[in-house]
Structure 1
Amino acid sequence: MRLAFAEASISLFLSGYQFPDLTPPHPAGEWDADWLVVIGKIHSNGRTGEFRDPCLTAFEAGELGRWLRVISQSGRGDDRRSVTSLDFTEPELAFECALLSDDDAVIRVVFSGGAAHPEDGVGGAGEEARVVTVQMSLADIGLAADEWERECARYPARSTDAAP
């Protein structure tokens, strides 16, 4: 999935389960079978980097797709000042969105921990968060949602208690 505007772009991909050998369905309450490795490529403010981290469960990845879909279908009559956010069990990724017009939205992606500054080859719990902002048309956000949903379809939740 790619979110891009002017000099900033964010690409996120799923590369597989963190523990691919766990046999589904996994017992209730055990999320180990559902952790997905996310590859992120970030370009902003002249800095480019890439991270690879098991920071989303299969359920959370699907939740991100649904969140993007809702934003893409927002528009006329919605409160332009409304801000919606989405965060996850692991703090490496968080999203927030503000609608600007009937056709555009601003999405801020907050990268923390090892995802915050991958271009430096460092990162961890003490690293300062990095925020990348993109303004996109609702149609382009819908295309990003389509792309992300295709990624997620390859990695369904395997535990019987996938939702947090």
Structure 2
Amino acid sequence: MRLVSGSAFVDLRPVGYQYSSVSGGWDGNWLLVRGEVGLDDGRSWSFTDPCLTTWEARSLGEWLRAVADGDVPVTDGEPFGFTEPNLALSLAERSDDRYTVRIHLALGSCPPWPVEAPYFLPLRLGRDELRRGADHWVRESAAFPPR
């Protein structure tokens, strides 16, 4: 899934199970997520972390679709997060069919230069962009079902 705002972007893709030989329970359902992040100023970085479970990957697609449908409230509080704090999202602003989604990054998902954690990147996105991102994420994560 690639979300782009100006020249800033976040690209997130599930790339495999953390423990390929385990088939069940929590250990068998951790996913490695590859992230690439680019900022408006040209700086970028990438990470690969076991930061979502298969169940959380499914809920991420549902959350993105709910944002696009107008069913997620704007918040300055707790983001939509997961068991591991490496990745979270929040809706910072909504007006008509434009949304500002914050991508919260912590621990091994942060940039390699000193930043205050969690670091977040706001992306201004249209409704169709969000839906495409959600659809891509759902397709990509379907390759790694719960086991």
Regarding TM over 0.5, the answer is yes
Contact kept in structure 2, 1:116 and 1:127, CA below 8 Å = no
| CA distance in 2 between partners of 1:7 and 1:31 (Å) | 37
Instruction: Report Cα offsets for 1:29-66 as digits up to 9, x if no partner.
Output: x3000000000000113310000101100000111000
1:109 aligns with 2:103: yes
Offset from partner CA, 1:71-94 (integer Å, 9 cap, x none): 1112xxx79x73383101000001
> What CA distance in whole angstroms lies between the structure 1 residues aligned with 2:144 and 2:36?
20
Q: Distance in 1 between matches of 2:138 and 2:117?
A: 30
Residue 98 of structure 1, CA deviation: 3.2
For the 8 Å contact 1:59–1:157, the answer to whether it is kept is yes
| 8 Å Cα contact 1:113-1:127 kept in structure 2 | no
C-alpha contact (below 8 Å) 2:32/2:52 kept by paired residues: yes
Structure label with greater radius of gyration:
1
The answer for the alignment partner of 1:63 in structure 2 is 59
Q: CA separation in 2, counterparts of 1:99 and 1:133? A: 10
d(CA) in 1 for partners of 2:51 and 2:107? 10
Cα deviation digits, residues 3-49 of structure 1 (max 9, x gap)? 110131000011100011123xx2xxx30000000000001133100
- The corresponding residue for 1:144 is 133
Verify the 8 A CA contact 1:112 1:127 in the aligned structure 2: no
Task: Tell me the equivalent position of 2:74.
Answer: 82
Cα distance in 1, alignment partners of residues 97 and 17 from structure 2: 36
Taking every aligned residue pair, what percent have the same amino acid on both sides? 36
RMSD: 2.1
State the partner residue of 1:48: 44
Question: How many pairs were matched up?
Answer: 144
Structure with the bigger RCO (C-alpha within 8 Å, sep 6+) is 1
Distance between the aligned counterparts of 1:6 and 1:105, measured in 2? 14
Q: TM-score, normalised by structure 2?
A: 0.89
